Amino acid sequence: MDLALFDFDGTITTIETYAPFISEAAPRWRIVLGYPPLAPLILAYRRGLVSGNTARSAIARVAFTGLDASEVDAAGESFARTAVPPLLRPEAMARIDAHRRRGDTVVVVSGNFDAFLVPWARSHDLPVLCSTLERRNGRLTGCYAGEQCVREEKVRRIREAFDLSKFERIHAYGDTSEDEAMLAMAHHAHYRRMPHVDEAFATA
């Protein structure tokens, strides 16, 4: 049995879902008032001057601080049910199904939010490792609970969740530099390429 690790945004989906989910989950007034002070940081991120972790942490603080956690959970359930399905890559879902037919363990490993990834993964009976929003007394603090699930943190989470010695091979699928550490741990890494469903799985 093999282990198959799939990034979510841009690998399973056609677009990044971070911003669309925030637009659905956060109050409109926060987005309108929060964007101007965040704009220089977002521009710096796009130019490679600040890390994605820094930019995402700042955006999460503006979007989620003090919100009722149950309301964000409800937005996540809705987003998973209605917004995500049209964004799924058929070839990615076919590859996931192909791994499962072989008896492989398939895991989604993403830096995006648990609020919608957990219900989406549950609907497909898939385990998921992802970033988590911190909660306190029923409200979101605006901080991440622990590290964002990107880069080396993806590998750490995978090793923590699974005994890798039990798998014959590891397959990994990703599309950005934040997946490189996960891709590097795989016997068979697929970067920005999803093999066709009938393409033979490598055995060497």
Q: Is residue 201 part of a domain?
A: no
Domain boundaries, position 141: 3-191
Look up residue 179 and give its DSSP letter: G
Distances (CA, A) of 35 to 23, 63, 64: 12, 10, 14
Give me the pLDDT at residue 204, please.
41
Residue 142 located in a structural domain: yes
Whole-number Å distance between alpha carbons of 35 and 58: 11
pLDDT of residue 194: 85
| Half-sphere CA count of 161, side-chain side, radius 13 A | 17
Specify the pLDDT at position 31.
Answer: 87
Q: Residue 8 and residue 130: Cα distance in Å, rounded? A: 10
Is residue 166 classed exposed, middle or buried when 0-12, 13-18 and 19+ CB atoms within 10 A define those classes? Answer: exposed
112 within a domain of the structure (yes/no) = yes
One-letter amino acid for residue 158 of the chain: I
Please state the pTM of the whole predicted model. 0.93
Domain count, the chain: 1
Please write the tens of the pLDDT for every residue from 14-70: 999 999 999 999 999 998 998 899 999 999 999 999 999 999 999 999 999 999 999
Residue 72 pLDDT: 97
199 lies in a domain?
A: no
Percent composition of the chain: helix, strand, coil (DSSP 3-state, to 5): 50, 20, 30
* Any domain includes 197: no
Looking at the chain, the whole-number percentage of residues with pLDDT higher than 90 is: 89
Nearest Cα to 129, choosing from 104, 148, 102? 148
How far, in Å, CA of 135 to CA of 139, rounded? 5
What is the CATH classification number for the domain harbouring 156?
Answer: 3.40.50.1000
For 166, the token pair is: 């039990």
- Residues of the chain below pLDDT 70: 197-198, 200-204
Q: For residue 198, is it within any domain?
A: no
Cα(163)–Cα(157) distance, integer angstroms: 11
